Structure 1
Amino acid sequence: MPEVYFNIEWPDGSQESCYSPSTVIKDHLQEGEEYSMQQFLLLVRQGLNEASERVRQKYGYACSSAIDQLHSITHTAAGFGTQQKLKVRVKKIVSTG
């Protein structure tokens, strides 16, 4: 199963490299796009949950790395609050394998 790394830029300009066990994340996030914090969290939650489910279908167990990544993103996002003006940019999406 090809893995995907997606680099994001938080509202304060800091950057983070994130992981998805499946290319399905590309159905939810687009390279170069900027999302409101709420929209980004919704899309990344959908994408990583779907990616984890694909792992479950293939291997019989959910992907703990996808769930851990979602928790990490959610935790970081909580530090910024929920103001509509806050934006997250998807800088790059790279597939491996």
Structure 2
Amino acid sequence: MRATPERSGVRTEIAVVNTNERKTTYSVQISIADGAGWTAYDRFWLQDVPPGKTGRDEAVIGSADMGPAPRTPKIYVDEFTPLVDRS
């Protein structure tokens, strides 16, 4: 995971390697915080990641309305749920 401050929030990039033997969808909820009150949340859905491959996604989390983005954002994984394909 990577978090980079931007003008309108924090650009967050995640990557998950599928170590299962079947396609897997990953639900990942994260928080970005600065330790001083600025906190933003998002959920990523990495769908149908093939075995042995890496699912990737990115988003800008937060907004200019929240105030300046943290200079050193901290990433927290609040929930990580793999949903393995049954077929």
TM range (shorter): 0.3 to 0.5
Larger radius of gyration: 2
Q: Which has the higher strand share?
A: 2
Q: Which has the higher helix share?
A: 1
**TM-score, normalised relative to structure 1:** 0.40
